[in-house]
Amino acid sequence: MCSAEADARKIPMNRFVTYAQNFEDVILWRALKHVHRGFYVDCGAYDPTRESVTKSFYDRGWRGINIEPIPSLLQKFVVQRPLDANLAVAVSDGSDRAELYEIAGTGLSMLFTLLRSNILKRASGRGLSTYRPQRCQMFYVNLLRAKFIF
């Protein structure tokens, strides 16, 4: 048994610990608690624990795909969620690559050209710095369905 499975067994199944920002995991658990071992796809996963909608499900034996285009954030998933598929890509229905802008220290990132200049100006006005754009590998939505059978 790996350490992730051992850690998951420490939380009593009749107790629910929320990690999500707005209790989304609680709402989902109320609807899905009858599912013994489910599957999730977390797009823009951000962090394996902080503000995580999937952490409590992972602790209960669910497994899934964590999609996070910022490599430094995805690395936490590689370490803390070894039983999940962890992908350093952005999801798209279009091009192969795009420019990804990250707003430092927030977990926020964006790809869309139309909104980008306005959002970057607002972030800068609030004292938040943005990283230079980095090329990001895109993952087609229909390819996601083909590669991982749901």
Q: Give the residue extent of every domain in the chain.
A: 1-88, 91-150
Most confident of 32-36, 106-110, 135-139: 32-36
- Range 75-98 average pLDDT: 85
pLDDT of residue 114: 46
Using one digit for the tens of pLDDT, what is the confidence trace for 116-146?
A: 566 666 666 666 555 555 666 665 555 555 5
Question: What is the spatial distance between Cα 54 and Cα 81, in angstroms, rounded to a whole number?
Answer: 11
Residues whose CB is less than 8 angstroms from the CB of residue 124 and which lie 6 or more positions away in sequence, other chains included: 130
pLDDT of residue 150: 44
* pLDDT of 66 higher than 70: yes
Question: What is the spatial distance between Cα 21 and Cα 23, in angstroms, rounded to a whole number?
Answer: 6
- Range 28-36 average pLDDT: 94
Which run of H or E residues covers position 39?
strand 39-43
Q: Indicate the pTM of the whole model.
A: 0.72
> Considering only 1-5, 32-36, 127-131, 136-140, which range has the smallest mean pLDDT?
1-5
Higher pLDDT, 100 or 31: 31
CB 19 within 8 A of CB 51: yes
Handedness of CA 71, 75, 76, 78 (dihedral sign): positive
